[in-house]
Amino acid sequence: KHHPDAGERASQQARLDLLTPVVKGWSTELAVEIASLGVQVHGGMGFVEETGAAQYFRDARITTIYEGTTGIQANDLIGRKVGAEKGATALAMIADMRELDAQLKRAGDGFSVMQAAYVLAVDSLESATHWLVGHYRQAPEAAAAVAVPYLKLLGTVAGGWMMARAAMIAHERLSEAGVDREFLEAKLATARFYVEHLLPQAGALAQTVTQGAASTLALDPAAF
């Protein structure tokens, strides 16, 4: 907002605009999953009120509606954000994501799994973005049919980007004296968990984006 370069201000504002529906849509959908898991791990007691887990789930569940339903956020993302500018901001962010690849490689064998998963995820996001840009104007219904999977894909990969960046910082700081090693090691552990358990979803989501529109549109409206 206060950067002296007008071009940089515009670029960062465009990125903020791009990520706003992702933060509202993907983050809240993930919150529902996490809160649901919280009910699950408590067993039957999670379903009743004594543990408080059910209240957390209800509180999380409404966020995908209060913030504007996920479908609305997704259509805003593919329409006013990605489609309207032919993917410029999304592709610029993907280029920034790729800069982390070299850092992960330099970090050594301990990061080889993370680096490989990260590259595959970014590739998936890039291919899905190109598909979306290519179909948005000529087949807007097809683009809209896969808007939610694209939102989840972008959120998943952006989340992986942030987690991998955090892992790199933690890895570098562990060699310093007087640091909170427990905190930094926890950062590495959570980043690896994300990369190994959540980030691989990117490939499946990208496949849904690039191949899933036809089956959705094949349904007769009367079927609903």
Number of folded domains that form the chain: 2
10 Å CB burial of residue 119 (0-12, 13-18, 19+) is middle
31: in domain: yes
pLDDT of residue 179: 94
% of the chain beyond a pLDDT of 70: 100
Asked if residue 66 belongs to a domain, the reply is yes
Enumerate the active-site residues: 67
**Average pLDDT in the chain:** 95
CATH code for position 35 = 1.20.140.10
d(CA 75, CA 208): 16
Residue 221 within any structural domain of the chain: no
Closest Cα to residue 144, out of 73, 199, 53, 55? 73
pLDDT at position 211 is 97
Q: Is residue 81 part of a domain?
A: no
Q: Where does a domain end: 70, 104, 124?
A: 70
Same domain assignment for residues 55 and 115: no
pTM of the shown model: 0.94
Task: State residue 3's pLDDT score.
Answer: 82
Q: How far apart are alpha carbons 14 and 134 in whole angstroms?
A: 20
Q: Are residues 139 and 184 in the same domain?
A: yes
Q: Write out the H or E segment, with its range, that includes residue 146.
A: none
Q: Which two tokens stand for residue 61?
A: 């569940």
Give a yes or no: residue 223 inside a domain. Answer: no
Q: Are residues 208 and 121 in the same domain?
A: yes
Q: Is residue 1 part of a domain?
A: no
107 shares its domain with 194? yes
Walk along the chain (224 residues) in steps of 10 and give the mean pLDDT of each run. Answer: 82 95 97 97 91 95 93 97 96 97 91 96 98 95 97 98 97 94 97 97 98 93 85
pLDDT at 55: 96
pLDDT of residue 67: 78
First to last CA, the chain: 46
Q: How far apart are CA 71 and CA 97, in angstroms?
A: 26
- Domain with 15, as residue range(s), is 6-70
pLDDT score, position 2: 76
* Residue 219, pLDDT score: 86
Last residue of a domain, one of 24, 43, 70: 70
Instruction: Say yes or no: 198 and 105 in one domain.
Output: yes
- Condensed to tens digits (0 to 9), the pLDDT of residues 125-141 reads 999 999 999 999 999 99
Would you state the pLDDT for residue 111?
A: 94
Q: What is the pLDDT of residue 184?
A: 97
- Final residue before a domain boundary, out of 70, 95, 123: 70
